[in-house]
Amino acid sequence: MTAEIQDKPTLQQRHDMIALAAYYLAEQRAFAPGGADKDWLEAEETIDAMIADRLLSRTTALETGRRLIRNALVLPDHEQA
């Protein structure tokens, strides 16, 4: 398994994060009736964006590291006499 896959939350973890975020959104609006669906959808968008950003950042960092290692292994051209 690669590092990128291990860092991705499970479906249950994702659900739990969305539920917690939706709760805080509901709390911000004083738990007024009629907003639960909107809270859930907004929380889902926010959590999915956070997950995607983390995976992209992790992948970008991993690719940057690979590129730096690859470039470090390239020997400089020797000047011919």
Model-wide pTM > 0.75: no
Model pLDDT for residues 10-36, shown as the tens digit of each residue:
999 999 999 999 999 999 999 999 999
Model pLDDT for residues 29-58, shown as the tens digit of each residue:
999 999 999 999 999 999 999 999 888 888
Query: 8: Cβ–Cβ under 8 A, 6 or more apart, which residues?
Result: 51, 55
Q: Which amino acid is at 58?
A: R
Residue pair 59/4 in contact (Cβ under 8 Å)? The answer is: yes
User: In the prediction, which pLDDT does 79 show?
Assistant: 54
Domain ranges of the chain: 9-68
Q: How confident is the model at residue 3 (pLDDT cuts 50, 70, 90)?
A: very low
